[in-house]
Amino acid sequence: TPTTSASSSVVSSSDNLYQTLGGKAKIDEIVDNFINEIAFDQETYAFFKDSNMQRFKEKLSEQLCVMAQGPCTYTGDSMEQVHTGMNITEANFNHGVDLFINAMDKADIPHNVQNRLLNEMAKTRKQMLYR
């Protein structure tokens, strides 16, 4: 815990990401924007054409809340289970991340905060690629 004013400048990277993002309302806004990005993107939409987007919306919101250390429980399937059979390439993944960044931009999430969430998401990358 920072005890001096000199160290208070680093509090923004050790505070609660969920709160910094703006809680559940902001996460849901990002998820709505992301689904809109997917709907208008041929490459990524191809993966989702048979998906239940209402379920995706709920589970992704929970997952992001957990990744941001929010007060949520993830009730979906494991990342390996869900993405197996899709053969997601690194290019597909990176393109999906670009759409997610657009979704965060449209929700007015500052870039330093975006990077913190992206960093958490990147940790699960291996569970999704080439499966």
Which residues are at the interface with ligand HEM (CB under 6 A)? 44, 47-48, 51, 55-56, 59-60, 63, 76-77, 82-83, 86, 88, 92-93, 96, 121, 124, 128
| Dist. CA 99–CA 32, nearest whole Å | 12
Smallest CA-to-CA distance from 17 within 87, 68, 62, 90 is with 68
95 is in an annotated binding site: no
Least CB distance from residue 49 to ligand HEM, whole Å? 8
Q: Which is nearer to ligand HEM, 3 or 123 (CB)?
A: 123
Task: Residue 38: count other Cβ atoms within 10 Å of its Cβ.
Answer: 21
Least CB distance from residue 106 to ligand HEM, whole Å? 18
92's CB contacts (< 8 A; 6+ apart) are: 43, 44, 47
Inter-CA distances, 92 with 5, 65, 115, 121, Å: 44, 23, 19, 15
Q: Which residue is nearest to ligand HEM (CB)?
A: 76
Q: Which is nearer to ligand HEM, 14 or 94 (CB)?
A: 94
Smallest CA-to-CA distance from 37 within 96, 86, 109 is with 96
Least CB distance from residue 34 to ligand HEM, whole Å? 10
Q: Which is nearer to ligand HEM, 8 or 51 (CB)?
A: 51
Binding-site residues, please?
Answer: 83
- Going by the annotation, the residues of the binding site for heme are 83
